[in-house]
Copies of this chain bind each other. A is one copy, B any other.
Amino acid sequence: MVLRLFSREETFFVLFNRAAENILQGGQMLQDFFDDYRDTDRRAEAIKAVEERGDEITHDVIDRLNRTFVTPFDRDDIYDLAKQLDNVLDWIEAAAARMVVYRIPRPTREAQEMAHVILHTCKAIVEAVGDLRALGRLDGPVREIHRLENLADRLQRDAVAALFADRNDPVDVIKWKDVYDTLEEATDQAEDVANVLESIRTKNL
CB atoms of B79 and A198 under 8 A apart = yes
Question: Which residues of chain A from 164 to 193 have a CB within 8 Å of any chain B CB?
Answer: 164-165, 167, 170-171, 173-175, 177-178
Which partner residue on chain B sits nearest A158 by CB separation?
B101
Which of these, B160, B174, B198, B203, contacts A62 with CB under 8 Å?
Answer: B198
Partner of A202 from B65, B161, B173, B205 at Cβ < 8 Å? B65
Could you say which interface size class chain A belongs to?
20 to 34
A178's nearest neighbour on chain B, judged by CB, is B177
List the B side residues contacting A173 at CB < 8 Å.
Answer: 170-171, 174
> For residue A143, which residue of chain B has the nearest CB?
B59
Establish whether residues A199 and B79, one from each chain, have CB atoms under 8 Å apart when the complex forms: yes
> In the bound complex, what is the Cα–Cα distance between A158 and B199 (angstroms)?
38
A101 near B161: Cβ-Cβ < 8 Å: yes
Least Cβ distance of A103 to chain B in Å?
7
Residues of A within 8 A of B (CB): 62, 65-66, 69, 75-76, 78-80, 83, 97, 101-103, 157, 160-161, 164-165, 167, 170-171, 173-175, 177-178, 195, 198-199, 201-203, 205
